Amino acid sequence: MVDIVQAAAEWRSRHDAGLLPGDKTKFAHWLEADERHAEAFAQFDVTWSILDRAREVSPEILGASPPGNAPAGAAPPQRRPRSVVWISTALAAAAAIAIMGAGWWRSASTSRISFTNAAMVGPGLVKRLNLPDGSIVRLNAESAIKIRFTEGERRVALERGEASFTVAGNPARPFIVNVAGVDVRAVGTVFNVALRAKSVEVLVTEGKVRVDDAVRGGSLLGVRDTPAIAGRPLALAAGERVVISTLNIASSVRVVPVAVPAAEIARALAWQDRRLEFDSAPLSEIVAEFNRFNQHQLVVADAALGAQRFGGSFRADDPDTFVRLIEARTGVVVEQQPNATVLRIAK
């Protein structure tokens, strides 16, 4: 068992650093060799998340260099696979115990690995999940998903919040994300899905995805683009985004993909680095994003103030800097309460 745990840790470190050409095939063969391999690899997501949090607090852990030590203008160092650090025999034993208690299984009639799992993230956290097929899911704050892999497909239900998916290619076993009656299908690609109050947003950064009306198991009836795709599933390519109203999926409302500039894509995905970036966004929207990451909440007391637009780049866990900024530039009145900061229009 110890040898399996060590091998799983090594494969986990390779995924974290980026697989080299040929590694995906070797990894697939390793998974297929023993049903315990997939179980061990899946469980290392928990252990690695703990180590990642430790390194954020203390960069010298695992040999990381503190930020700001590189000479100005120096080229960034080449990324190397992270060394596996065995903290103690107790850590290996804990990993083995977690593996034995895992609810993962292998189908006896096929070499494809099947499993179910669920994950949720509370306020202020961002979580990374490494799936046994090599795919990666990143969950934004206040998000929840359920995962079910079967012989024929890999399916994820986004129940709330936002998630980014890096999908390992497998044309015979599609990867499907279901959210609010919409299916997003991918083979090998990178895309972001967000469930908003009244809409579903899909942003593709690599490859292509197909968007279906999951309720009817086929075409997204709201699509009214060109005759070539009207009434058919909607295709999105890299650099495109679509926003689908959850109130009228089956209506005749025009739903078309829109090209998204690189700067806007960076802003949309900044949450993965625990940053929030806005370009002329309503204050109500900005406040809602800050509140996802912080227990101390921001409250906009006036609808007119909530409609005012602001921009900038901020740390997700530092709403105070943003509050001071708008207070200084707009004359907004700030009222500090025990569990909230209330923003009002100056009278």
Same domain, 13 and 98: yes
Residues 140 and 210 in one domain: yes
To 5 degrees, how large is the angle CA 214–CA 217–CA 220?
65
In a domain, 48, yes or no: yes
CB 298 within 8 A of CB 343: yes
Domain boundary among 238, 269, 300: 269
Quote the tokens at residue 40. 């061990």
Predicted local confidence at residue 108, as pLDDT: 33
Clarify whether residues 256 and 334 are in a common domain.
no
Residue finishing a domain among 269, 284, 307? 269
Contacts of 277 (CB under 8 A, 6+ apart): 266, 267, 270, 312, 313, 314
| High-pLDDT (> 70) share of the chain, % | 66
Average pLDDT, the chain: 74
Please check whether residues 238 and 281 belong to one and the same domain. no
Between residues 346 and 222, which one has the greater pLDDT?
A: 346
| Bridge partner list, 300 | 343
The answer as to whether 187 is a domain residue is yes
Examine the domain organization and report whether 193 and 317 are in the same domain: no
Higher pLDDT, 82 or 154: 154
Residue type, 329: R
Tell me: do 18 and 131 sit in the same domain: no
What tokens appear for 186 in the block? 């991918």
* pLDDT for the residue 229: 35
**95 and 19 inside one domain:** yes
Evaluated on CA atoms 14, 19, 23, 26, the torsion sign reads positive
Report H helices in the chain.
2-17, 23-33, 35-57, 89-100, 262-268, 283-293, 303-307, 319-330
Specify if 162 maps to a domain: yes
Would 74 be classed as within a structural domain? no
In this prediction, residues 101-106 reach a mean pLDDT of: 39
Q: How many alpha carbons fall within 13 Å on the CB side of residue 327?
A: 15
Q: For position 164, what pLDDT does the model report? A: 95
Task: Name residues whose C-beta falls within 8 Å of residue 56's C-beta, 6 or more positions apart in sequence.
Answer: none
Whether the predicted pLDDT of 160 surpasses 70: yes
- Overall average pLDDT of the 20-33 stretch: 72
CA distances from 325 to 257, 283, 312 (A): 35, 13, 10
Q: Is the pLDDT reported for residue 152 higher than 50?
A: yes
d(CA 13, CA 44): 10
One domain for residues 91 and 116: no
Asked if residue 255 is part of any domain, the answer here is yes
**Best CA proximity match to 328, nearest among 346, 309, 302, 307:** 346
Query: Is there a single domain that holds both residue 204 and residue 260?
Result: yes
The predicted structure's pLDDT at residue 50: 45
175 in any annotated domain: yes
> In terms of domains, do 41 and 149 share one?
no
Residue 147 confidence class, pLDDT cut points 50, 70, 90: very high
Tens digits of per-residue pLDDT, 177-194?
Answer: 999 988 999 977 999 999
Determine, yes or no, domain membership for 178: yes
Query: Residue 172 sits in which domain range?
Result: 107-269
What's the mean pLDDT in 273-302?
Answer: 88
Which of 219, 238, 269 delimits the end of a domain?
269
Q: 283: domain CATH number?
A: 3.55.50.30
- The whole-number pLDDT of residue 43 equals 61
Do 241 and 113 fall within a single domain? yes
Going by pLDDT thresholds of 50, 70 and 90, the confidence category of residue 26 is confident
pLDDT at position 227: 31
Distance between CA atoms of residues 207 and 218, nearest Å:
21
Q: Tell me: do 185 and 98 sit in the same domain.
A: no
Among the ranges given (39-53, 206-220, 236-250, 257-271), the one the predictor scored with the smallest mean pLDDT: 39-53
Q: How many residues does the chain have?
A: 347
Residue 91 pLDDT more than 60? Answer: no
Whether residue 75 is contained in a domain is answered as no
Give φ, ψ of 126 to 5 degrees: -130, 130
pLDDT over threshold 60, residue 213 = yes
| pLDDT reported for residue 223 | 39
The domain that holds 182 is classified in CATH as 2.60.120.1440
Residue 262 has a pLDDT of 92
pLDDT of 98 above 60: no
Determine the average pLDDT of the residues in 126-151. Answer: 90
Residue 78 has pLDDT above 50, yes or no: no
State the total domains in the chain.
3
